[in-house]
Amino acid sequence: MVLMHLCALAGLRPEVVSLDHGLRKESASEVMLVQQTAAALNLPFSTRRLGLKPGSGMAARARQARLDVWADLPVDHVLLAHHQDDQAETVLDRLSRGAGARGLSGMALQSGRLVRPLLCESRADLQQWAKRKGIWWVEDPSNTKGTRGWMRHRVMPLLEERRPGSAACIARSAAHLAQDEAVLSALASRLLDPQGLALETLREAPPALQRRALAQLLERERGERRELSAKLLDLSVELLSLERGVVEIGGGWRFVLHKGRVHCLPPKPAPAELQEGRWGPWNVVASTAVGLRSVELGERMNGRRVVDLMRQAGLPCPLRPYLPIIHLGPQRWLPGVSFQGGAPSGVHVRLEASPGTTLLGGGPFQRLL
């Protein structure tokens, strides 16, 4: 509500978007309050109904639902009203979970399209200004619940009582850590190359850069920034230093060590029928729709086990789910390895590795098949 008024005072006319999570019966009237205030300030208004259901992981699900809305808005910037106390609570919460410098950097003033212009302002100052201007607001009762509620209403008051200004100090530490993180991340990015990470290069780097390089490799392959726990990163560094072949990192994603290189592999692709599209690491273009799937347990081709054919071709175990069995009627192809059933006349299938894929270099894997 304060941010809306400040935008109007600054001569800006942003669209006000109010999200109704659908979790409380009062939420509809709260959206109405925001709409009436926006109208009084002559600001365009719209609402989005998220339709969330109560249950486990509610805070995370609600946050993701909000992020999805922001991502879909056809705008240049999204202004959010997080403030200094929110920052302090975020940092303390992440500290209690064992976060590294990246997590303890807290929220950024700007992250892509998301901008937080009030991040350096305290909750008390914002509330005082709102009262002085006669601005109404609603306190969400969920703010008193869960870990964040406990941080806000029990931990932070104790810290402020013992050391006044703690929230501002924690936020300042987060800003310093964000600067340190930027430098270390830039150094870590130099360890990466188009095919992943060279194990020897990774070993020679300090642990702080090892963890960041692995996190960046995962982000690059996923195509999105998502936190990987410091504990899991530490474990990955330890296991890769022991030359363990595969490290599971959640969601079906894995770090794989092969021929002195660390690759980041996605979940096993699901069976699909495509004429043009994406299957696992491959962009597929075919003259007619064909089926693509990973090898099945015990599958045979030309009287031999497919896994034996893959092994003979030099395809290591971690890469085998990503080389597709291509099938059309009774015909089956295993590109670069085997073929069965007589090729239909005029059928062509082109597989080209997606940009940035780290799967290349194992047995029959080539950039183009």
Tens-level pLDDT at each residue, the chain (369 residues): 999 999 999 999 999 999 988 888 888 889 999 999 999 999 999 999 888 888 887 878 888 899 899 988 999 999 999 999 999 999 999 999 888 898 999 999 999 899 999 999 999 999 999 999 999 998 877 777 778 888 888 999 999 999 999 999 999 999 999 999 999 999 999 999 877 889 889 889 998 999 899 889 888 888 776 666 777 777 777 777 766 678 888 888 888 887 788 888 888 899 999 999 988 888 889 888 999 999 888 888 888 898 898 888 888 787 788 888 888 888 888 887 777 665 555 678 888 877 656 665 555 565 555
* Dihedrals phi, psi of 336, to nearest 5 degrees: 80, 0
Contact 8, 19 (CB under 8 A): no
Q: Which two structure tokens, joined as six digits, stand for 79?
A: 């202004």
Up-side HSE of residue 83: CA atoms within 13 Å toward CB? 13
Give residue for tokens 């924690």.
170
Q: How many Å apart are CA 339 and CA 341, to the nearest integer? A: 7
Q: How far is CA 321 from CA 32, 225, 279, 368, in A?
A: 52, 25, 11, 17
pLDDT for 130: 96
341 - beta bridge partners?
Answer: none
* Dihedrals phi, psi of 312, to nearest 5 degrees: -65, -35
- Rounded to the nearest 5 percent, the helix, strand and coil shares of the chain are 45, 20, 35
Q: Which two structure tokens, joined as six digits, stand for 195?
A: 């095919």
Q: Which two structure tokens, joined as six digits, stand for 253?
A: 């994603």
Q: Apex CA 242: angle with CA 238 and CA 248, to 5°?
A: 60
Which of 353, 363, 312 has its CA nearest to residue 195?
A: 353
Contact 8, 43 (CB under 8 A): yes
Q: How far is CA 89 from CA 143, 263, 323, in A?
A: 12, 36, 46
List Cβ neighbours of 219 (8 Å cut-off, separation of 6 or more): 225, 226
pLDDT for 230: 73
pLDDT for 64: 87
Alpha carbon 225 to its chain's center:
4
DSSP string, 37-100: HHHHTT--EEEEE-----STTHHHHHHHHHHHHHHHS-SS-EE----HHHHHHHHHHHHHTT--
